[in-house]
Amino acid sequence: MRSIFINLPVADVAASRAFFTGLGFGVNETFSGEGSVAVVVEENITVMLLSHEHFGQFVTSGISDAHSAQEVLLSLSCESREEVDRLLATALDLGAKPWKPTFEMGPMYGGSFQDPDGHVWELGSMPADFDPASLQQG
pLDDT tens digits along 46-101: 999 999 999 999 999 889 999 999 889 999 999 999 999 999 999 999 999 999 99
Mean pLDDT of 3-21: 96
Q: Report the pLDDT value the prediction gives residue 129, as an integer from 0 to 100.
A: 73
pLDDT band, residue 35 (cuts 50/70/90): very high
Instruction: Look at residue 124 in the predicted model and tell me its pLDDT.
Output: 95
- Give alpha helix (H) positions in 2-120: 13-22, 52-56, 81-93
Give how far Cα 43 sits from Cα of 4, 9, 38, Å: 10, 22, 12
pLDDT at 138 over 80: no
As a whole number of angstroms, the distance between CA 89 and CA 96 comes to 9
Q: What's the mean per-residue pLDDT of the chain?
A: 92
CATH superfamily of 64-129: 2,3-Dihydroxybiphenyl 1,2-Dioxygenase, domain 1 (3.10.180.10)
| Neighbouring C-beta atoms of residue 111, cutoff 10 Å | 24
Q: What is the per-residue pLDDT for 105? A: 87
pLDDT of residue 135: 61
Fold classification of 1-61 is: 2,3-Dihydroxybiphenyl 1,2-Dioxygenase; domain 1 (3.10.180)
